[in-house]
C-alpha cells in the first residue's frame, strides 16, 4: 500500500498491482483466540472462537460438541447461546475474568433465566484439559481453582481490528484502538486512503459499520469531486487513562459535508466523573458521565472552531 493509492495484491493468479484515486479500508474485526489469551493446558479438539463455531453449526450443519463453556461476557456470548440452542449444545457456564459482565446486567440475567446458564465473574481460564477431545476447563474463580467438565470451550469477544494488512504501510496506527488513525471523514494519514467500520476500533454492530461505510463513501465521492478540503494541519485528540481511546483521533478543517464518523470514547474500567475535552487547559466540552468498561460513549463535541494543529486531551475527572 503506497501513498499514491497503489495496492500490491496477491491472488489466485499471482501477485498484481491495483491503482486507485481513493481506497476504502473495510477490513473488519476478529476475536482474540485462546493462544493470545495465554490459556495453558493441552491442545485437544473442541476449542473454538464464535466464528469457527458458527461455521461448523450453520455452515457445515455439525454439532461439534455437546456441553460447552463460553469464555467472555460481551454481547456475542449471547449469540453463542442462541447457536447452542440451535445445535443442541448444553451451556455449562459463561466465565468472565472481570468483576462485572461486559454485557448489560439485564442481558446477563436473561442468560441465566432464559438459557439456564451460570454466569461466573472474576473467573479466569487457566488451562484446558483433554487428550483427543476437550474434557474440562480449569478456571481460577475468585482465588480458588475449579474444574468445569465440558467437551467444548468457546472463546468469544475481545475483538481487535483486523489490521494486519496495514503492517509496514505508511498508515499511522493507534495503540488504543488497534486500527488506523483517522479524521472525521475516515481519512488516514494517506489522504487517498479511507477507513470505516470495525477496522477502526472494536467493536460495533453490523448496522453501525454499514452506516459508517455509507457516510465515508460520501466523503470519498466529495473528495473525488474536489469538494472535500485537503487535510492541512489537523487537530489531534488523545485519551488519558482510564480512557482506552477516542475515535476519530484527528479533526480536519470543516467542510459543508457532515462528519462521517461520530466522536466516541471508551474506558478500560468502570468510572464516573466529568468527561471533558480540553485544549491549552481550557475546557471545550464536558458533561457528567458514567462509563462502563468497553461501552461506547458518544459525545457531541464540535471542534470546528478549534485552530488547526491544536492538541486536545480527552479525560475523565473523578469527583473529590
Strand arrangement of the beta sheet that strand 297-298 belongs to: 243-247, 264-267, 297-298
Give the max Cα distance, the chain.
64
75-87 helix and 105-115 helix, angle to the nearest 10 degrees: 10
pLDDT at 10 over 60: yes
Percent of residues in the chain assigned helix, strand, coil, to nearest 5: 20, 35, 45
In 3D space, the residue among 74, 75, 78, 118 whose CA is nearest the CA of residue 94 turns out to be: 118
Instruction: Write down the pLDDT at residue 95.
Output: 96
Query: In 3D, which of 170, 159, 312 has the Cα closest to residue 248?
Result: 312
Residue 308 has what pLDDT? 63
Supply 164's cell numbers.
494486519
* Domain locations in the chain as residue ranges: 34-155, 162-317
Q: Name the nearest CA neighbour of 304 among 289, 318, 286, 285.
A: 285
- Out of 3.90.1170.50, 2.130.10.30, 3.50.50.60, 3.40.50.620, the CATH code matching 34-155 is 3.50.50.60
Instruction: Read off the pLDDT band of 298 (50, 70, 90).
Output: confident
Q: Which three cell numbers stand for residue 180?
A: 488506523
* pLDDT of residue 17 exceeding 70: yes
Q: Are 63 and 86 in contact (CB under 8 A)?
A: no
User: Whole-model pTM?
Assistant: 0.87
Specify the pLDDT at position 305.
Answer: 54
Q: How confident is the model at residue 5 (pLDDT cuts 50, 70, 90)?
A: confident
Give the count of beta carbons closer than 10 Å to the beta carbon of residue 37. Answer: 14
Per-chain mean pLDDT for the chain: 90
In the numeric block, which cell numbers belong to residue 270? Answer: 468502570
**Of 238, 287, 296, nearest in space to 267 by CA:** 296
Backbone phi, psi, residue 49, to 5°: -95, 170
Q: How many Cα atoms occupy the beta-carbon half-sphere of 216 within 13 Å?
A: 29
Tens digit of pLDDT for each residue in 214-256? Answer: 999 999 999 999 988 888 778 899 999 999 999 999 988 766 7
Q: What is the pLDDT of residues 97-149, one digit of tens each?
A: 999 888 888 778 888 878 889 999 999 999 999 999 999 999 999 999 999 99
Q: With a cut of 70, say whether residue 309 has pLDDT above it.
A: no
Confidence class of residue 314 from pLDDT cuts 50, 70 and 90? Answer: very high
What does the pLDDT read at residue 254?
67
Q: How many helices (H) and strands (E) does the chain have?
A: 5, 23
Amino acid at each position: 500500500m503506497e501513498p499514491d493509492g497503489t495496492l500490491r495484491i496477491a491472488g489466485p493468479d499471482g501477485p498484481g498491482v491495483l491503482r486507485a484515486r481513493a481506497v476504502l479500508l473495510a477490513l473488519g474485526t476478529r476475536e482474540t483466540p485462546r493462544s493470545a489469551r495465554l490459556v495453558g493446558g493441552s491442545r485437544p479438539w473442541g476449542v473454538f472462537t464464535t466464528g469457527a463455531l458458527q461455521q461448523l453449526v450453520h455452515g457445515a450443519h455439525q454439532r461439534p460438541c455437546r456441553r460447552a463453556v463460553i469464555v467472555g461476557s460481551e454481547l456475542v456470548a449471547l449469540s453463542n447461546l442462541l447457536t447452542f440452542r440451535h445445535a443442541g449444545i448444553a451451556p455449562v457456564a459463561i466465565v468472565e475474568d472481570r468483576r462485572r459482565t461486559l454485557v448489560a446486567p439485564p442481558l446477563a440475567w436473561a442468560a441465566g433465566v432464559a438459557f439456564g446458564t451460570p454466569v461466573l465473574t472474576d473467573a479466569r481460564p487457566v488451562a484446558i484439559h483433554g487428550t483427543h477431545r476437550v474434557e474440562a476447563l480449569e478456571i481460577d474463580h475468585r482465588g480458588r481453582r475449579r474444574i468445569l467438565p465440558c467437551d467444548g470451550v468457546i472463546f468469544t469477544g475481545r475483538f481487535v481490528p483486523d489490521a494486519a494488512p496495514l503492517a509496514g504501510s505508511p498508515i499511522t496506527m493507534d495503540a488504543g484502538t488497534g486500527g488506523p488513525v483517522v479524521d472525521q471523514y475516515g481519512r488516514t494519514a494517506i489522504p487517498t486512503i479511507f477507513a470505516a467500520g470495525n477496522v477502526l476500533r472494536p467493536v460495533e454492530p453490523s448496522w453501525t459499520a454499514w452506516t459508517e461505510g455509507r457516510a465515508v463513501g460520501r466523503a470519498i465521492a466529495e473528495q473525488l469531486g474536489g469538494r472535500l478540503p485537503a487535510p492541512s494541519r489537523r487537530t489531534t485528540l488523545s485519551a488519558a487513562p482510564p480512557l482506552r481511546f477516542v475515535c476519530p483521533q484527528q479533526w480536519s478543517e470543516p467542510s459543508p459535508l457532515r462528519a462521517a464518523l461520530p466522536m466516541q470514547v471508551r474506558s478500560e474500567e468502570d468510572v464516573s466523573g466529568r468527561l471533558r475535552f480540553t485544549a491549552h487547559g481550557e475546557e471545550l466540552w464536558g458533561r457528567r458521565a458514567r462509563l462502563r468498561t468497553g461501552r461506547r460513549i458518544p459525545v457531541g463535541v464540535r471542534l470546528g472552531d478549534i485552530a488547526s494543529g491544536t492538541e486536545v486531551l480527552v479525560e475523565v475527572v473523578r469527583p473529590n
